[in-house]
Amino acid sequence: MKKFIIFTILVCFVQIVSAQTRVTDLSQSSLKGKVKRVTTYTFRGDNHMAPDTTASAEKTIETFDEKGWAIEEKIYDKNDALRERFSFEYIGDSIVVNNQFDSSGKLFVKYIYKYDDHGKETEFDMNSDAQPKMRLAKIDYRCIYKYDELGNRVSEEQYIDKNKLTIRTILRYNDQHQRIQSDEESFFGKTSNKSKTLYTYNSLGNLIKSEIYDLDGKLTGGNDASYDKFDNYGNWLIETSSYHGHSSYQGDFTFMNITKRVIEYY
């Protein structure tokens, strides 16, 4: 469970740099140029230990068509065995369906993205009765997004069981439309929990730091990232990232990832 929680946080860290306007899937992934395929190799380290880049890595292969829309994504484990596969369906300009299959080819989750006339994602839905190991057994999840007059996403509300509000997030931006702060409130029964996340970018617009604070202003965790080697389109090829925090059962912890990308173009 520990590794899954950390993975989820790292995914969120990466996703916030995605473009707010749905032009193409490439733009949402902050990829430049006519990308055909991206092969990503991820090396994960243990607590306070850097990953061994001479060992086998987890691998993800994403393919795009010539218009920049995602076609398929495959995820492999360290033994190069297929773990999961995603395929994408486009229904006009307003709906995208992402189908997730397990290693045997069984469809077990459908992710549905809905967009308005301006290309803004307004709703995300996920339904599943057969989540794999380390995930919830059943999910009925919905997220609603709202935007300001400049097109910045300013609020997110997450629901389970149709209409049960679980998390509300307020988002703030700088003059470059970069998300610089997220104020989150989560609801569990009659209690709620508040936290704040601050984001920092480098001169190229890449996210290099996130810091998570609790209601009392205490730093509870965060991410750091650095980038090395860029191709002719300005896409990074090596990223070093780490997630750090504190828990009652393991004390202070830091987990580091090294990610390498091979990008092919049309």
CATH number of the domain residue 236 falls in: 2.40.160.190
Other beta carbons less than 10 A from residue 23's beta carbon: 10
CB 241 within 8 Å of CB 224: yes
Range of the domain at 93: 2-265
pLDDT per position as a tens digit, 190-230? 788 999 999 999 998 899 999 999 999 999 999 999 999 99
Q: What does DSSP say about strands 251-265 and 35-44: parallel, antiparallel, or unpaired?
A: antiparallel
Q: What is the pLDDT of residue 67?
A: 87
256: nearest Cα among 38, 55, 10: 10
pTM for the complete prediction? 0.82
d(CA 244, CA 221) in angstroms, rounded, equals: 5
List, for the chain, all residue ranges whose pLDDT scores fall below the cut of 50.
Answer: 1-23, 130, 133-136
Q: What is the pLDDT of residue 167?
A: 96
Q: What is the pLDDT of residue 24?
A: 62
Q: Which two tokens stand for residue 236?
A: 């990074």
229 alpha carbon, distance to own chain's centre: 22
Count the domains in the chain: 1
CB 202 within 8 Å of CB 228: no
Q: What is the pLDDT of residue 42?
A: 98
Q: What is the pLDDT of residue 22?
A: 47
SS3 state of residue 31:
coil
To which H or E segment does residue 5 belong?
A: helix 2-15
- What's the CA dihedral at 48, 55, 5, 229 to 10 degrees? 80
29 alpha carbon, distance to own chain's centre: 10
SS3 state of residue 263:
strand
Q: What is the pLDDT of residue 139?
A: 66
